[in-house]
């Protein structure tokens, strides 16, 4: 674990912040350790995780800062944003993606766009990136586990792509699928989720200008562990809605089956808007810890409705957000 924890009592218990399946897997692992069944080398590796953390790929990506999407908040240090990740295809520990994602081959890369569209197409990365001018936007990202970051992302509104492929009148939802390749992604051998990782949005959510098709962060191309070469960033929703390393975007009549909803429907809804008034069944969503900034003894921040993006509220007018969580 890369984040220094001065007191084990100042942070939530693993059982509070970890999906049930993983929590149980970890308990088994701990039990094995107690039996002395885990090799010494694995223990050494765990103790030296920080040494393995992979630096960002480093290639610069030119983008103009969009002042309309700026925040007067301290940016999360790049080291934290690139070494404290969730990308289960590369392992379930926060440090696993930075250690393991170097095996992901991000070029050549294509994204297949299909389903209820007049112009289905397969775009290579360069063509995709040229669909609209790249912008830098500073967004808050709030993870369902109770932590948050503030990151300068580089990309453009997904609506640019949607307009290009001309959805039919039947297109009510958009589905995003992550690459699932055992050869490149060691985490796929574990059955923690039903692979591939799938996420989805309602069409009006996908068209909202905040929904960012993302190619970079901190002025550089996305590091593999952050979802290279292309991912979504949806700042008003819990982080898991922002699918990484996307290979397919499908337009659908029906609501797609999303990976976390399939895995634990009572815990992870389709909408998953950040909402301090709707607790996760196993923990409160009222507060959050800002990674890299707040000390463990520091009072947590209050979580804001829609993560502080009230402009999306009209998308949900008249909906009971306790039911449609
Ligand atoms: N996308 C894929 N394919 N696999 C994942 O495990 N994790 C999600 C989301 N996208 C995930 C994913 C979760 S839970 C979060 S909080 C964010 O990615 C984390 O993004 P970051 O690591 O860039 O902060």
How many domains would you assign to the chain?
Answer: 1
Q: Rounded to whole angstroms, what are the CA distances from 175 to 112, 119, 201, 212, 228? A: 11, 16, 7, 15, 18
> Model's pTM, two decimal places?
0.85
In a domain, 5, yes or no: no
Alpha helices in the chain (DSSP H): 14-17, 20-34, 40-47, 49-52, 78-81, 96-100, 125-129, 159-165, 203-207, 259-263
- Among protein residues, the one with the nearest Cα to ligand 1's atom 3 is 244
Q: Would you write out the chain's pLDDT as a tens digit for each of its 325 residues?
A: 222 333 323 334 333 445 555 545 554 544 444 444 433 344 333 333 333 334 346 799 999 999 999 999 999 999 999 999 999 999 999 999 999 999 999 999 999 999 999 999 999 999 999 999 999 999 999 999 999 999 999 999 999 999 999 999 999 999 999 999 999 999 999 999 999 999 999 999 999 999 999 999 999 999 999 999 999 999 999 999 999 999 999 999 999 999 999 999 999 999 999 999 999 999 999 999 999 876 667 889 999 999 999 999 999 999 999 999 9
Print the domain residue range for 46.
Answer: 14-316
Question: Which residues have CB under 8 Å from 140's CB, separation 6+?
Answer: 71, 73, 148, 149, 150, 235, 307, 308
In a domain, 265, yes or no: yes
Q: Is the CB of 197 under 6 A from ligand 1?
A: yes
- Among protein residues, the one with the nearest Cα to ligand 1's atom 24 is 85
- Among protein residues, the one with the nearest Cα to ligand 1's atom 23 is 226
In a domain, 3, yes or no: no
d(CA 9, CA 2): 17
pLDDT, tens digit, 9 for 90 and up, residues 148-176:
999 999 999 999 999 999 999 999 999 99
Contacts for 315-322 with beta carbons within 8 Å, 24 or more apart? Answer: 315/202, 315/204, 315/205, 315/208, 316/271, 316/273, 321/271, 321/273, 321/275, 321/277, 321/278, 322/277, 322/278
In a domain, 222, yes or no: yes
- By the 8 A CB rule, do 199 and 258 touch? yes
- Among protein residues, the one with the nearest Cα to ligand 1's atom 13 is 240
In a domain, 202, yes or no: yes
pLDDT, tens digit, 9 for 90 and up, residues 227-251:
999 999 999 999 999 999 999 999 9
Atom of ligand 1 nearest to the CA of 238: 16
Q: Is the CB of 83 under 6 A from ligand 1?
A: no
Q: Is the CB of 306 under 6 A from ligand 1?
A: no
In a domain, 148, yes or no: yes
Q: Spell 71-91 as b/e; 16+ CB within 10 A means b.
A: eeeebbebebbbbbbbbbbbb
In a domain, 277, yes or no: yes
Q: What is the mean pLDDT of the chain?
A: 87
In a domain, 4, yes or no: no
Domain of residue 119, CATH code: 3.90.420.10
SS3 192: coil
């Amino acid at each position: 674990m890369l984040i220094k924890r001065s007191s084990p009592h100042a942070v939530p218990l693993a059982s509070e912040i970890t999906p049930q399946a993983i929590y149980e897997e970890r308990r088994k692992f701990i039990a094995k350790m107690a039996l002395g069944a885990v090799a010494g080398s694995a223990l050494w590796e765990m103790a030296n995780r920080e040494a393995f953390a992979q630096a960002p790929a480093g290639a610069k990506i030119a983008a103009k800062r969009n002042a309309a999407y700026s925040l007067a908040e301290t940016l999360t240090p790049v080291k934290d944003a690139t070494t404290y990740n969730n990308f289960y295809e590369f392992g379930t520990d926060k440090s696993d993606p930075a250690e393991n994602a170097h095996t992901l081959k991000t070029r050549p890369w294509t994204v297949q766009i299909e389903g209820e569209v007049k112009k289905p197409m397969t775009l290579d990365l360069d063509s995709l990136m040229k669909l609209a001018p790249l912008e830098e936007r500073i967004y808050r990202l709030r993870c369902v586990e109770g932590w948050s970051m503030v990151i300068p992302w580089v990309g453009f509104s997904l609506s640019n792509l949607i307009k290009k492929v001309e959805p039919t009148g039947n297109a009510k939802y958009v589905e995003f699928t992550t690459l699932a390749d055992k050869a490149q992604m060691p985490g796929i051998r574990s059955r923690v989720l039903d692979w591939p990782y799938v996420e989805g949005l309602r069409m009006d959510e996908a068209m909202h200008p905040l929904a960012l098709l993302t190619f970079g962060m901190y002025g550089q191309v996305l590091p593999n562990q952050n979802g290279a070469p292309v991912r979504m960033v949806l700042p008003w929703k819990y982080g898991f809605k922002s699918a990484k390393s996307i290979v397919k975007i499908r337009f659908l009549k029906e609501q797609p089956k999303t990976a976390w909803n399939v895995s634990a429907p009572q815990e992870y809804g389709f909408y998953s808007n950040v909402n301090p008034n709707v607790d996760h069944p196993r923990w409160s969503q009222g507060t959050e810890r800002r990674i890299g900034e707040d000390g463990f003894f520091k009072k947590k921040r209050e979580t804001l409705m829609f993560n502080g993006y009230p402009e999306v509220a009209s998308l949900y007018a008249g909906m009971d957000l306790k039911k449609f969580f």
